[in-house]
């Protein structure tokens, strides 16, 4: 079956925009994807028909609560949770991770250990470093292999001892696209009694999430990275969300989400998040995992085309997995350095041609420093999504050839 990219692109208003006579190429998805029309419509519908606070007995509050419940159910389907009761919404993944880290740290003691990685976004590093510091626990960084930016599983195996209480790890690098085998890593951590917290923010738009198969303890992602509004999502095993003490005000609560969700949520954002899952489910004929599997296959073709083109350009250095035989080990997020040019200059050059990319360390500070790129301005990141096309990839390659 041919992937219906043009049919899908037609659903994204931003992709129809013309600037200087051309359609912009959005390669900024790792920082936030574009959204389909139904997401915009869902936000508008909420604000115009049932904009009310939670828990009232009057019509608009009852309607609003029904939309919020639908959002929890949609997020549960997205991650293949056992129940919508395991879903907690918040401002974003970073905020949710800081929130849960305080509660988890209450269970740690001096000389306990926490493992983080040099592959992760700082949102899955700093909350744990600070939480460990507050209770006197020790933090160890799991290194990467610089030649392909993969996690050093040998070091991880050596570091996993009964003293380790938590391993924080990314499902996919937001800079170099490396995929981690979460099921295998979780099994390693659980063997010594450690909990596993997965950052799936960058993975969510690129492949199927399955917390049941992965068996991790917590997983966080953000709807604005998978074609929705600015809303964060935390999934946790019900046992932990029931046992841990949340830091929040103390109203009467009846459900797990109410124990953890602080203040009034971004209701219109939740409505849009549910619509984003609807969009994916429609692509998959009602099954979000089928949709994400199809997206994964299409994006591997796109990513392969980009990597093959970059390999033909001697001035370009690809960071991470560049072997076309290993496309299954990465998502199509490609970070490069161009000899003789700072990343900022390359990004500005592409922007003048209406090609939107990111430059810098993208909050993957540990990786940028490990590769010696922080003092040089970090990376130039080209983030493909399923709404990009082969023609757009060719435009990018041509634009890189025109650097002066």
Give the domains, in start order, of the chain with CATH numbers.
5-36+288-401 (3.90.1150.10), 42-282 (3.40.640.10)
Does the structure show a pLDDT above 80 at 134? yes
* Nearest one of 59, 372, 330 to 178, comparing CA atoms: 330
Q: Which residue bears the tokens 């606070």? A: 53
Residue 252 confidence (pLDDT): 65
* Nearest one of 109, 123, 170 to 142, comparing CA atoms: 170
Whether the CB-CB separation of 287 and 281 falls below 8 Å is answered with yes
Mean pLDDT of all residues in the chain?
A: 97
Higher pLDDT, 248 or 348: 348
Whether the CB-CB separation of 288 and 294 falls below 8 Å is answered with no
| Arithmetic mean of pLDDT, 327-356 | 98
Burial 146-155 (b: 16+ CB within 10 A, else e): eebbbbbeeb
Q: Sorting pLDDT into bands at 50, 70 and 90, what band is 97?
A: very high
pLDDT tens by residue, 259-299: 999 999 999 999 999 999 999 999 999 999 999 999 999 99
Residue 352 confidence (pLDDT): 97
At 138, which helix (H) or strand (E)? strand 138-142
Q: pTM value?
A: 0.97
Do the strands 379-383 and 333-338 form a parallel or antiparallel pair, or are they unpaired?
Answer: antiparallel
| Arithmetic mean of pLDDT, 329-353 | 98
């Amino acid at each position: 079956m041919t992937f219906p990219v043009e049919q899908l692109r037609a659903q994204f208003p931003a992709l129809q925009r013309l600037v200087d006579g051309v359609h912009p190429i959005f390669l900024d998805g790792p920082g936030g994807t574009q959204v389909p029309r139904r997401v915009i419509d869902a936000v508008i519908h909420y604000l115009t028909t049932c904009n009310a606070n939670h828990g009232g007995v009057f019509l608009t509050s009852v309607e609003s609560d029904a939309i919020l419940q639908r959002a929890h159910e949609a997020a549960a389907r997205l991650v293949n949770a056992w129940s919508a009761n395991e879903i907690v919404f918040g401002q974003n993944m970073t905020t949710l991770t800081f929130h849960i880290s305080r509660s988890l740290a209450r269970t740690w003691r001096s000389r306990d250990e926490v493992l983080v990685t040099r592959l992760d976004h700082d949102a899955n590093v700093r909350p744990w470093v600070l939480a460990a510091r507050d209770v006197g626990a020790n933090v160890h960084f799991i290194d990467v292999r610089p030649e392909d930016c993969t996690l050093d599983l040998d070091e991880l195996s050596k570091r996993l001892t009964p003293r380790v209480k938590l391993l924080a790890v990314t499902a996919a690098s937001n800079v170099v696209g490396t995929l981690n085998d979460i099921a295998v890593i979780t099994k390693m951590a659980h063997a010594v009694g450690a909990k596993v917290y997965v950052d799936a923010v960058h993975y969510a738009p690129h492949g199927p999430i399955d917390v049941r198969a992965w068996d991790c303890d917590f997983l966080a992602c953000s709807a604005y990275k998978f074609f929705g509004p600015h809303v964060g999502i935390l999934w946790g095993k019900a046992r932990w969300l029931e046992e841990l003490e949340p830091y929040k005000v103390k109203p009467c609560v009846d459900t797990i989400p109410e124990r953890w969700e602080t203040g009034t949520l971004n209701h219109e954002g939740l409505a849009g998040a549910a619509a984003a899952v609807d969009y994916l489910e429609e692509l998959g004929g009602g099954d979000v995992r089928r949709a994400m599997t199809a997206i994964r296959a299409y994006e591997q073709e796109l990513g392969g085309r980009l990597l093959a083109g970059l390999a033909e350009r001697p001035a370009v250095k690809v960071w991470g997995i560049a072997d076309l035989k290993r496309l299954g080990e990465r998502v199509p997020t490609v970070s490069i350095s161009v000899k003789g040019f700072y990343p900022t200059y390359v990004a500005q050059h592409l922007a003048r041609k209406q090609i939107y990319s990111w430059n810098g360390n993208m909050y993957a500070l540990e990786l940028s420093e490990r590769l010696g790129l922080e003092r040089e301005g970090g990376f130039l990141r080209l983030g493909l999504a399923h709404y990009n096309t082969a023609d757009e990839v060719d435009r990018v390659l041509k634009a890189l050839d025109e650097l002066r």
